[in-house]
A and B are shown apart, each in its own frame.
Chain A
Amino acid sequence: MRYTVGIDLGSTTTKAVVLDEGGEILGRGITNSRSNYDVACQVALGEALINTRFSMVESGLAESGIAAEQRKSLLVGLGSAFREQQYLAQLAVLERELAKLVEAASDPSLVAIVAAIIDEMRAESRSLYAAGARRKSDFFRDLAGSRYLALAETKSKESGTSFDRLVGLFDKAILAVENTPSERDSFGVHAEAAIASLSESAAELSAAVRRAAGTELEQVSSVGTGYGRQRLPFPKSQIRSEILCHGLGAHAMFPETRTVLDIGGQDTKAIQVDERGIVTSFQMNDRCAAGCGRYLGYIADEMNLGLHELGPLAEQATRTVRINSTCTVFAGAELRERLSLGEKREDILAGLHRAIILRAMSLLARSGGIENEFTFTGGVAKNPAAVDALSKLVKENYGELTINISPDSIYTGALGAALFALRDSHHGEEVRASA
């Protein structure tokens, strides 16, 4: 099967979208961006290809005639078990890296402690991926990190070993883990192991998995975008600005889109597009990343919360505390001051969300205002409190407009890039045909 791929290398996450030759989305993949951009791209693409094979399994099952309900349950079960297998594989790499570090430290007491932590993490993996389990993140760094730290704290108390030392080992080892790309075509191996671990399975599922694993996937073209695009292992002709990619991606998701707001990790973009998805004007934040995703990340750290917990907590606000600062660091100070004055966390958070959206409103105004329909993309579009603040301010300033937010909004840039890749491959074929 031939495919094209778009990769969006952002400051926080790297996303990949895989399209078939007709432009239909086959799969999406995401990973945290890391110091090694090449690996981040490989991992995102690998994830998107796994997602593609899952789509094949799904259609395989549909063809086999299994009832929809059972199909769904089989797929959910397979998905969780597959993730667990991936987690275990990465845990094995972590174990290996930690062992190297411990050996170099030549401190025999560490060997047993680290081994005990990893053993417990391995034992917990089943519950981590059990049906209905809540995970703060799907990235190995976050998942393994939070468990490792918790276990290290207990072990250091029991054994008298320095907690900081154990944390230091993890910080070093995780870098090596993240920079070790998973085996190519690991889908088949993990999927088989996943099926073996399932309590509920079916011969049809095994057959569909085998078929998906055996399908050859051939990349015909690729386009990279995002903040790190200059570092992508692509020739220059295969690199597009994220402005163009977000414009085209938003147009593909919502063809009536005329204005796009993208709030990413370190930049905010206000983009105007025409009826073909061609960018006509844009504005970006300059010199300062206040009002971007990182602002929320910083606030989450200050409040000792996960990034994804911020929005839901802010949604519980009964009033919006006014936050005046447009500077991320000052907002942190303002947050602490408000807390000390007895304001409720959720009310302050509502104010912080409003503050970042106010910055975006100014950028939108500078780009030429908001035209119907208005599409909101980027990681921050997943945050319900940000969406609420935006909807309110749009209504106040521009009246009743259609605001589009796709659950896959984080993939908008990668989708646009994949569409450019598809055009390039068609163009290449035309050139070849006419030659």
Chain B
Amino acid sequence: MAKAIAMEKDDSQLRQKQMIAEHFDRLAAAPDTGDKCAYTFVPGNLTELLRSFDVLPVLPEINALQAGMRGKSREYISIAEKLGHSEDVCTYVKCDMGMLKSGNIGPTGQRLPDPDLLLLSYTGCFTFMKWFEILGREYHCPVVMLHVPYQGDGAITDSMRDYVVEQLERKVIPMLEQVTGKSYDEDRLSECLAKSAKAEDDLVAVLESAKHTPSPIDAYFGGVYYIGPIFTAFRGTDEAIDYYKSLRSEVEQRLAAGKGPVTPAGEIEERYRIVVEGPPNWTNFREFWQMFAEEGAVVVASTYTKVGGVYDNGFRHDPSRPLETLAEYCMGCYTNLNMPSRAGMLAKYVTDYNADGFLINSIKSCNSFSAGQLLLLREVERRTGKPGGFIETDLVDPRYFSASNVKNRLESYFQMIEQKRSGG
């Protein structure tokens, strides 16, 4: 096991930990309080709609990644493999199945409530559908699927939007009404959406602070903490508004003081500015981050911090068009973009954030989003002229994290940037 690394924590990080802990407390108490809960996904999550019905969201992906960080995923995955899930199945799914079969104890050590509803909010990943089919059989609860059209042509058309809105009106909302016994309240939804937009403004300001040299934040490893509240249960809440406001002010203070990000290697001197594509590895998260930090590599922009919503292109939840805006949000998530759009976004990040290069962390067990990444690498290299790097790890299967290999490649990659920069 990797050595635990003591690390200075920002106030915001402690605060978000507290918020998430409180959410799990509410979930744990749900069987007693009678709060309803829905299991759903990060991409295309309909948190404001759920909140408007007082439904608490549970995100199995987040539980899986937390299990990875807490060193529980190996055990959970082996339970799922005993049940017959193959080695090639998404390790989030296997981790979740193993957790379910081990008493469904969540990241805070409390039991998660059984779902009242399975809300399949995103269909761009085929595995998600299969995942909820299995959960549906396990929990015998209603499943509602929102079919999210892929942006195959790189744009959202009116008919695509109408199609999603119609599903919300005809399928999702009636199901929520049925499960909760409450009526759809559009004013309440709009109120939540207005709150979302406020927090989104501050989140974008935080992420874009990395355009400064040196960057006050790490927009990947640090970024996953920043997106935590808004990607999970807190979009559309006052807590989220407060959190992002204080996070923004904290980052602005760092910026004013000329400070770099806090990392497992302490405050580091920025030597390389990197854009990253792909999720981090969770089982060796600190060790992985340290490999960057020790070399002075700061991630200035990442696509992973956009899987639960792309906001830096100007999109904000619009309270005046509640269902339309939810439809646009779902279709606009990073995972729903086609290859040219993804390449365009990466290339733009490389340029806008004045990056030295970009790195792809390709996920062994993610067939949906690892496909095409080599092409992406070549395309972004071609568009930006900056060197691309490629490493392979996994989400939560520790067997696929080979520290010496990853370190070797990262060092080679950073030295390659250095060599190019110094002209030989």
Q: Which residues of A contact B (CB under 8 A)?
A: 227, 240-244, 276-284, 286-287, 366, 368
Query: A276-B424, A280-B387, A282-B416 in contact; A241/B411 too (CB < 8 A)?
Result: yes
Q: Would you call A243 and B412 a contact (CB within 8 A)? A: yes
Q: Is the CB of B405 within 8 A of A281?
A: no
Set of chain B residues within 8 Å of A283, measured between Cβ atoms: 390
Shortest distance from the beta carbon of B394 to any chain A beta carbon, whole Å: 10
Contact B420 A278 (CB under 8 A): yes
Give the Cβ gap from A11 to chain B, nearest Cβ, in Å: 11
A242: chain B residues at CB < 8 Å are: 412
With A227-B408, A286-B405 as contacts: A366 and B374 at CB distance below 8 Å: yes
The residue from B381, B405, B424 contacting A278, defined by CB atoms under 8 A apart: B424
Q: Which 10 A-B pairs have the closest CB atoms?
A: A241-B412, A243-B412, A279-B416, A241-B415, A286-B392, A276-B424, A241-B411, A278-B419, A244-B415, A287-B402
Across-interface contacts of A286 in B (CB, < 8 A): 391-392, 402, 405
Instruction: Select from chain B the residue with minimum beta-carbon distance to A286.
Output: B392
Residues of A within 8 Å of B388, CB to CB, are 281
Contacts of B391 in A (CB 8 A): 286
Q: Would A287 and B415 count as touching, CB distance under 8 A?
A: no
**Which of B387, B388, B391 has the largest count of A CB atoms less than 10 A from its CB?**
B387
Provide the residues of chain A in CB contact with B415, threshold 8 Å: 240-241, 243-244
Choose among B381, B402, B416 the residue that contacts A243 (Cβ–Cβ < 8 A).
Answer: B416
A277 to B402, CA, bound (A): 29
Who on chain A is nearest to B364 by CB? A287
Taken together as a complex, chains A and B put the C-alpha atoms of A284 and B392 apart, in Å, by 10
> Is there contact, CB below 8 Å, between B408 and A284?
yes
> Can you pick out 20 interface pairs between chain A and chain B where the beta carbons lie within 8 Å of each other?
A227-B408, A240-B415, A242-B412, A243-B412, A243-B416, A244-B412, A244-B416, A277-B424, A279-B412, A279-B419, A279-B420, A280-B420, A281-B388, A284-B409, A284-B412, A286-B391, A286-B392, A286-B405, A287-B400, A287-B405
Which residues of B sit under 8 angstroms from A280, Cβ to Cβ? Answer: 387, 416, 420
Question: Do A281 and B381 have beta carbons less than 8 Å apart?
Answer: yes
CB distance from B377 to the nearest CB of A (A): 8
B378 beta carbon closer than 8 Å to chain A: yes
What distance in Å separates the Cβ of A116 from its nearest Cβ neighbour in chain B? 45
- With most chain A CB atoms within 10 A of its CB, the pick from B381, B387, B415 is B415
Chain B residues closer than 8 Å to A282, beta-carbon distance = 412, 416
Q: Once the chains bind, are A287 and B392 in contact (CB under 8 Å)?
A: yes
Query: How many A-B Cβ pairs are below 8 Å?
Result: 51
Given the interface pairs A277-B424, A278-B420, A366-B374, the reply to whether A241 lies near B408 with Cβ below 8 Å is: yes
| 0/1 string, B143-161, CB within 8 A of A gives 1 | 0000000000000000000
Most buried by A among B381, B388, B424: B424
Instruction: Please measure, in the bound complex, the distance between the C-alpha atom of A366 and the C-alpha atom of B373, giving whole angstroms.
Output: 11
A221 to B409, CA, bound (A): 25
Bound form: Cα–Cα A284–B405 in Å: 9
Across the interface, name the chain A residue whose C-beta is closest to B388: A281
How far apart are the CA atoms of A281 and B420 in the complex, in Å?
11
Cβ contact within 8 Å between B408 and A281: no
Beta-carbon nearest neighbor of A283 in chain B: B390
Binary interface profile of B, 388-406, with partner A (CB < 8 Å = 1, else 0)? 1011100000001010010
- Chain B interfacial residues counted at CB < 8 A: 21
Compute how far the CA of A287 lies from the CA of B281 in the bound complex, rounded to whole angstroms.
15
Distance (whole angstroms) from the CB of B283 to the closest CB of chain A: 14
Residues of the A chain whose Cβ atoms lie less than 8 Å from the Cβ of B419: 244, 278-279
How far, in angstroms, from A76 to B259 measured CA to CA in the complex?
A: 64
In angstroms, how far is the closest chain B Cβ from the Cβ of A244?
5
CB distance from A292 to the nearest CB of B (A): 13
Residues of A within 8 A of B390 (CB): 283, 366
B315 CB, nearest partner CB in chain A, Å: 34
CB distance from A283 to the nearest CB of B (A): 7
A427 to chain B: closest CB distance in Å?
10
Question: Which B residues, 343 to 398, have Cβ-Cβ distances below 8 Å to chain A?
Answer: 374, 378, 381, 387-388, 390-392
> Which of A240, A277, A286, A368: most chain B Cβ within 10 A?
A286
Least CB distance from A33 to B in Å reads 15
Q: Which residues of A contact B381 (CB under 8 A)?
A: 281
Alpha-carbon gap, A81 to B400, bound state (A): 51
- How far is it, in angstroms, between the C-alpha of A368 and the C-alpha of B416 when the chains are bound? 16
- Assuming the contacts A242-B412, A287-B392, asked whether A368 and B405 have C-beta atoms less than 8 A apart, the reply is no
Least Cβ–Cβ distance between A230 and chain B, in angstroms = 8
On chain B, the residues within 8 Å of A227 by CB distance are 408
Residues from chain B with a CB closer than 8 A to the CB of A366 are 374, 390
Cα distance A368–B387 when bound, in Å? 12
A55 CB, nearest partner CB in chain B, Å = 28
A243 to chain B: which residues have CB within 8 Å? 412, 415-416
Chain B contacts of A276 at CB under 8 A? Answer: 423-424
Q: Kindly provide the distance from the CB of B424 to the nearest chain A CB, expressed in whole angstroms.
A: 5
Q: For the A-B complex with A243-B412, A279-B420 known, give 13 more contacts whose Cβ atoms are closer than 8 Å.
A: A242-B412, A243-B415, A244-B412, A244-B416, A276-B423, A279-B412, A280-B387, A280-B420, A282-B412, A283-B390, A284-B409, A286-B392, A286-B402
Q: How far is the CA of A286 from the CA of B406 in the complex (A)?
A: 9
Smallest CB separation, B286 vs chain A (Å): 19
Give every chain B residue within 8 A of A241 (Cβ-Cβ).
Answer: 408, 411-412, 415-416
The docked-state distance in angstroms from the alpha carbon of A242 to that of B404 is: 14
CB distance from A418 to the nearest CB of B (A): 15
| Nearest opposing residue in chain A for B295, CB measure | A236
Q: In the complex, what distance in Å separates the CA atom of A287 from the CA atom of B400? A: 7
A40 to B224, CA, bound (A): 43
Measured CA separation A278–B405 after assembly (Å): 22
Nearest chain B residue, comparing its CB with the CB of A279: B416
Q: Write out the residue numbers on chain A whose beta carbons fall within 8 Å of the beta carbon of B420.
A: 278-280
Shortest Cβ gap from B10 to chain A (Å): 28
Please, how many angstroms separate the alpha-carbon atoms of A241 and B411 in the complex? 7
Q: In the docked arrangement, what's the CA distance between A243 and B381, Å?
A: 19
Which residues of chain A are near B405, meaning CB under 8 Å? 284, 286-287
Q: Which residue of B lies closest to A280 (CB)?
A: B387
A257 vs chain B, min Cβ distance (A): 14
Contacts of B387 in A (CB 8 A): 280-281
Residues of B within 8 A of A279 (CB): 412, 416, 419-420
Most B Cβ at <10 Å: residue of A241, A242, A279, A368: A241
**Bound: A294/B416 CA distance, A:** 27
Q: Provide the residues of chain B in CB contact with A278, threshold 8 Å.
A: 416, 419-420, 423-424
Cα-based distance from A278 to B424 in the complex (angstroms): 6
